[in-house]
């Protein structure tokens, strides 16, 4: 899942994301809660309507970002008091508040509010944190079940339809427009009645914590499954621990999560890591790495990492990655990309991001294909 922190994957528009084959992206509740605010997004038809994105979206609970504020937060059983990184204003986020926000944002998948245990943590601290995450998971689920019908999906479908209509209008001859429009409208109405759109709700996923302790992870997994969710995430990793430890904890946690529900590893990783974890049984991952690295001129290629700012590329006529089929590699030279980056052109960020996203998505496509052919 590419990360679209503020309802935008930085540097690339939604139509480019569609062309790249992005099936689902992630929005950050903390950032959207502060700006533009959940109420605005809800009134605009939820995140789908607001950002004109018809494909799937997942929102995090806001917890991870609030916990990364360090100096600006205070945790209690009830929830977390924190100060906005934007203007220092004081806010309070609880399991109930995080659910209310995520229902308002209306992503397809919402995440339970958890406490991301810091690394390193003492055994007693890791257990206390895990126990609180379990209590918060139960509170998240309770609030979600009571309020899930408030998701603003009906209006988002109307917006999605009108954007579809606009595209069709551009594409078609005038005589065909009205017939096509009628078909679009009719199929949308059918969808509504057949699938009972009004009755559909988001999916709430639980999150496993437990620090770097295998036994705590096992207990957290079993007890989270006992609460019961349609999908499970492994949280609290990639927080500064050695990569080998991340791998061990993921492996031992996966054993205790049902294979027939989605298993989501949060905040991971490099192209090598996402391939490794997918083969281990992880179904979903998100990471800012491809997009953030792109904006810093770090590109992932089949031949390894390329730091495009290096002088050695100044007159390099070759494509960024000869094995890549993305539009950037098919069209531009390394020399041009290096120039754009050195001159601080906006297009550098756009093109670099397009390539890195394509590289990540094609990494996952080839993992899926090799897993399918191994069956």
> Can you give the binding site for Zn ion, defined by CB under 5 A?
324, 326, 328-329, 355
Q: Residue 326 CB, nearest distance to Zn ion (Å)?
A: 3
Toward Zn ion, which CB reaches closer, 135 or 296? 296
168 vs 368: CA distance, rounded Å: 32
285 vs 263: CA distance, rounded Å: 9
Toward Zn ion, which CB reaches closer, 9 or 324? 324
Tokens of residue 74, six digits: 């205070």
Toward Zn ion, which CB reaches closer, 137 or 329? 329
Q: Residue 59 CB, nearest distance to Zn ion (Å)?
A: 29
- Provide the phi-psi class of 71: left if phi over 0, else alpha when psi is between -120 and 50, else beta: alpha
Toward Zn ion, which CB reaches closer, 308 or 328? 328
Q: Answer yes or no: are the C-beta atoms of 282 and 231 closer than 8 Å.
A: no
Q: Residue 245 CB, nearest distance to Zn ion (Å)?
A: 32
User: Is 145 a residue of the active site?
Assistant: no
Catalytic residue, chosen from 108, 213, 286, 321, is 286
Catalytic residue, chosen from 15, 60, 108, 213, is 60
Q: Residue 119 CB, nearest distance to Zn ion (Å)?
A: 34
In sequence order, what are the residues at sequence separation of 6 or more whose Cβ sits closer than 8 angstroms to the Cβ of residue 345? 339
User: Is 321 a residue of the active site?
Assistant: no
Toward Zn ion, which CB reaches closer, 212 or 299? 299
Q: Residue 346 CB, nearest distance to Zn ion (Å)?
A: 19
3-state secondary structure of 59: strand
Question: What angle is formed at CA 206 by the lines to CA 203 and CA 211, rounded to 5 degrees?
Answer: 155
Alpha helices by DSSP H, listed for the chain, are 14-20, 29-34, 38-43, 46-50, 63-67, 95-105, 123-147, 153-171, 174-195, 214-227, 243-254, 271-280, 289-295, 327-331, 334-342, 346-374
Angstrom distances, CA of residue 269 to CA of 123, 137, 206, 276: 26, 25, 20, 10
Toward Zn ion, which CB reaches closer, 136 or 300? 300
Q: Residue 356 CB, nearest distance to Zn ion (Å)?
A: 8
Active-site residues, by number, are 60, 286
């Amino acid at each position: 899942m590419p990360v679209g922190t503020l309802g935008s994957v930085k540097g690339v528009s939604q139509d480019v994301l569609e062309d790249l084959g992005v099936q689902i992206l992630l929005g950050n509740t903390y950032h959207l809660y502060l700006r533009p605010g959940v109420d605005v997004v809800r009134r605009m038809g939820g995140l789908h309507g607001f950002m004109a994105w018809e494909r799937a979206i997942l929102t995090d609970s806001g917890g991870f970002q609030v916990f990364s504020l360090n100096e600006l937060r205070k945790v209690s059983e009830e929830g977390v008091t924190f100060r906005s990184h934007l203007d220092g204003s004081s806010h309070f986020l609880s399991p109930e508040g995080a659910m209310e926000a995520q229902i308002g944002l209306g992503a397809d998948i919402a995440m339970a509010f958890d406490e991301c245990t810091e690394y390193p943590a003492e055994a007693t601290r890791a257990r206390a944190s895990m126990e609180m995450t379990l209590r918060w998971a139960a509170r998240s689920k309770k609030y979600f079940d009571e309020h899930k019908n408030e998701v603003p999906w009906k209006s988002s479908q109307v917006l999605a339809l009108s954007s579809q209509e606009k595209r069709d209008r551009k594409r078609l001859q005038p005589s065909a427009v009205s017939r096509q429009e009628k078909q679009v409208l009719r199929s949308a109405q059918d969808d509504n009645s057949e699938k009972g759109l009004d009755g559909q709700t988001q999916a709430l996923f639980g999150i496993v914590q437990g620090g770097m302790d295998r036994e705590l992870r096992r207990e957290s997994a079993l007890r989270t499954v006992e609460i019961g969710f349609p999908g499970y995430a492994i949280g609290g990793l990639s927080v500064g621990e050695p990569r080998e430890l991340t791998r061990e904890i993921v492996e031992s946690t996966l054993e205790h999560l049902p294979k027939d529900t989605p298993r989501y590893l949060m905040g991971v990783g490099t192209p090598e890591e996402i391939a490794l974890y997918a083969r281990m049984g992880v179904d979903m991952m998100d990471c800012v790495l491809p997009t953030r690295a792109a904006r810093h001129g770090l590109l992932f290629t089949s031949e390894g990492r390329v730091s495009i700012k290096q002088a050695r590329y100044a007159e390099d006529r070759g494509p960024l990655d000869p094995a890549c089929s993305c539009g950037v590699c098919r069209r531009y030279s390394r020399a041009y990309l290096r120039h754009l980056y050195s001159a601080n052109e906006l297009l550098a960020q756009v093109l670099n991001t397009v390539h890195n996203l394509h590289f990540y998505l094609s990494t996952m496509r080839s993992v899926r294909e090799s897993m399918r052919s191994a069956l």
